[in-house]
Amino acid sequence: MRGATLNKLITTTSTLVENPLKFVRFSERFFTSFKVLGLYLEKTILPMNNLSSDHSYNQIPTHIELSNPHMWLGIFVFFVSTYGVYSIFNSKKEKNIILILASSYFIFFYLIISNLFFIIGTILAERLMYIPSIGFCLLTSWLIIYTHDKEVLAKSYKLFFNKKVSKKFMNHILYCSIALILTFYATISYKRNFNWRTEESLFLSAALRSPNSVLARSNAGAIHLINGDLVNARQELIFANTIYDSYNHAMNNLGLLYLREGNLLAARDQFHKTISKYPNYINAINNLAITYFYLEEFEKSKYYWTFIYNNNAEDHLIYYLTDKIVNLIKQNKLSEVENLYKNIKHIVNNEDWKAKIELILENFSKKK
């Protein structure tokens, strides 16, 4: 399963949004990879308010920041681990298999997801640290056993306070500490699960934890659009397009916002802008066709639906026209139905449908 997953991740089809490291110089990729390692370590050790389902462009800047603590933490841990493995292998003393295995496991599997030697499908994804973290867990287990067997706590207490303490008492302290640490991580995991309950909670939490990610902010805007919260949708989508104005989903969602706000001309222009950059983006083409329908430019609607539905484009137009006519009839706006039919009868080739509309209009005229 992991092999299949990695096979999908090891790809050159990732975009700037998904993995900006694909589009930078090697020097920037090199230092950013260590910055990412520092972030992984922070999330592993102290997963407080830094867990997120998304770290897309531009949540993790790719330019070289020599003052960035995560980068130096990553460099330190990587080279200490590498040197540790080398030293243990070349030591004349008895080799510690656990330390070798823990360090090797961590380094090897991190290199696979690091973007250092080949580009994968994302710059950072917390799930990718599952396998490398096994090495971290092995090292932690070794430290606990070592602390217990070598009476490290008792010796440390004597060193700092110049007092002896029983081994049994310090072991109780060790066990209590382990229980508290496990409780801490279990609580974090339990609370984090609530963010994954629904698509809405996941997207909104991602936008909160990754405020500079164009994908996270665009998704949050889409959720607000679905919920009818146009104020927050506007805030999220405008900001997403400020981060990166060429992300296809953010561009399309901004057009949908204009459409929901009733600003049809702005929606039309936004969808045209999206299609000019992404000519095969079906959602934007469909939304442009719908916008032209609301503008009552039915020929253009049919034209753009042709790109999606080919010979069935007229069926789609008829679906929308029928819905519009039914609503007008319910509102007793017969004159508007008559005007609408005059405007579209030369566009629609379906004679059966036109005959039904004409029959409806004739019946209503008789009732008058």
Per run of 10 residues, the mean pLDDT along the chain (length 368 residues) is: 50 83 94 95 91 94 91 92 77 70 88 92 93 90 80 67 73 87 94 94 96 97 97 97 96 97 97 97 97 96 95 93 91 88 90 90 73
Domains of the chain: 2-149 (no CATH), 201-295 (1.25.40.10), 313-368 (no CATH)
Structure confidence at residue 95 (pLDDT): 60
If you compute the radius of gyration of the chain from its CA atoms, what whole number of angstroms results? Answer: 30
Q: How many helices (H) and strands (E) does the chain have?
A: 17, 0
Amino acid at 250: A
Predicted confidence at residue 93, as pLDDT, reads: 63
What the block records as the tokens of 42 is 């922070």
Contacts of 2 (CB under 8 A, 6+ apart): 131
Counting Cα atoms < 13 Å in the Cβ hemisphere of 15 gives 12
Q: What is the pLDDT of residue 54?
A: 94
Residues 286/305, Cβ–Cβ less than 8 Å: yes
Element (H, E) at 350: none
**Cα–Cα distance, 35 to 27 (Å, whole number):** 13
Tell me what pLDDT residue 84 has.
76
Q: What is the pLDDT, as a whole number, of residue 1?
A: 47
CA distances from 81 to 20, 55, 91, 134, 197 (A): 27, 26, 15, 14, 37
Residue 167: the pLDDT is 74
248 upstream amide cis, omega within 30 of 0? no
CB 69 within 8 A of CB 227: no
Measured CA to CA, the distance from residue 219 to residue 250 in angstroms comes to: 8
